[in-house]
Amino acid sequence: KNEVEQSPQNLTAQEGEFITINCSYSVGISALHWLQQHPGGGIVSLFMLSSGKKKHGRLIATINIQEKHSSLHITASHPRDSAVYICAVRSGGGADGLTFGKGTHLIIQP
């Protein structure tokens, strides 16, 4: 079973700062997801990665398959970025769902 570790667990930063959230996993995967959960609880999928790097607006996600590691970066952070960011992995084969990290609680102060 895949183990997914995220760091940091909590992060408070000032508006405008560059944010990095890390995710490592223990077993080879077919895909890695970065998800965003707002206080109301609903989850939005930000990225799905199997290799390389993806960018969407101020968000950048990278993955290193050999190192079993992924990072989520937020440039020019804003208070509306405050949320819980969750890393989840799908191991190769099967449709038995995702394995989730515990999440990183991000607060961006104005």
Binding stretches for another protein (CB under 8 A): 4, 30-31, 33, 35, 40-45, 48, 86, 88, 90, 93-103
Phi, psi of 92 (to 5 degrees): -60, 130
Q: What's the min distance (Å) between Cβ of 17 and another protein?
A: 25
- State which residue, 57 or 94, has the beta carbon closest to another protein: 94
- State which residue, 18 or 102, has the beta carbon closest to another protein: 102
State how far Cα 98 lies from the chain centre. Answer: 13
- State which residue, 12 or 30, has the beta carbon closest to another protein: 30
Q: Are 9 and 22 in contact (CB under 8 A)?
A: no
Burial class (CB in 10 A: 0-12, 13-18, 19+), 54: middle
Q: What's the min distance (Å) between Cβ of 79 and another protein?
A: 22
- State which residue, 32 or 77, has the beta carbon closest to another protein: 32
Q: What's the min distance (Å) between Cβ of 75 and another protein?
A: 23
The three-state secondary structure class of 77 is coil
Q: What's the min distance (Å) between Cβ of 110 and another protein?
A: 27
CA angle 104, 108, 109 (to 5 degrees): 145
Q: Are 70 and 96 in contact (CB under 8 A)?
A: no
